[in-house]
Amino acid sequence: MKLGLVLSGGGVRGIAHIGILKALDEMQIQIDCIAGTSAGSIVGALYAAGHKPDRIFELVKNLSIFKAVRPAFAWTGLLTLDGLKDVLHKNIPANNFNALKIPLTVTATDIKNGQIHYFNSGELIPAVVASSSIPAIFNPVQLNGHLYVDGGILDNLPVKAIRNQCEIIIGSHCNHISPDFDVTNIKLVVERSLLIAMRANTEVSRSLCDVFIEPPGMDRFSSLDLSKVQEIFEYGYRFTKENFSPASFKMQAV
């Protein structure tokens, strides 16, 4: 039975996906295809290329935000993700979807026509960078005559991209919104507002999953705060180990 894994966007919260993958590996759950948005596309690309979760975590943990991003010097965004691009080239040198060990689909939003685009062939790294380019913060990515930004705007949990390829879909979502929220600064208000907006395009996707992994209270972690990477990784791992077993992923698809 073919099993697909879908990884949501979520910035630094996406590190929870790595802990979840580590737990799935320990349960000997074999993933046959992957779809990911933004942070989920980064984790998905590294895993699909053959890197183990512990190795992926080491790469992320040692990647300073100041190395990952660089000034864009452009009106379209404050920063570029050239540093992330360098890390991906070093660890996925083939830079092609067809060279991956597990088939991967990456989402990005075409900012001109307002439509989602699913990448699953050709150059890999530009698609991952496009998927991760949060509007107004990171410079959009131009590919094949189109301008792309973060895929989470339109499809933050891209189940539809692989639903017809798999009998069972596992959704890994790192953007649970808890009812406890204190308005202490504008940054938190903006980030919370984005989480709420993205939740709207996640509800239908969630219903298409056969198994849904969503560690609660993830909104306590900022999407750009790399100081919490160890805690986020361990939380994703523990939550999965404590709430799921190998039998959880051998159910009949709904």
Q: Cα–Cα distance between 217 and 33 in angstroms, integer?
A: 28
Q: Say which of 38, 41, 131, 205 is annotated catalytic.
A: 38
Q: Is 222 a catalytic residue?
A: no
Among 165, 157, 131, CA closest to 213: 157
Q: Cα–Cα distance between 236 and 242 in angstroms, integer?
A: 10
Q: Cα–Cα distance between 22 and 55 in angstroms, integer?
A: 10
Task: Give bridge partners of residue 74 from the DSSP assignment.
Answer: 77
| Sign of the torsion angle spanned by Cα atoms 60, 66, 72, 75 | positive
The count of other CB atoms within 10 Å of the CB of residue 206 is 16
List of residues 6+ apart from 117 with CB closer than 8 A? 107, 108, 109, 110, 146, 148
Q: Is 38 a catalytic residue?
A: yes
Please list, residue by residue across 9-37, b when 16 or more beta carbons sit within 10 angstroms of its beta carbon and e when fewer do.
bbbbbbbbbbbbbbbbeebebebbbbbbb
Q: Say which of 8, 41, 132, 150 is annotated catalytic.
A: 150
SS3 state of residue 184: coil
Active site residues: 38, 150
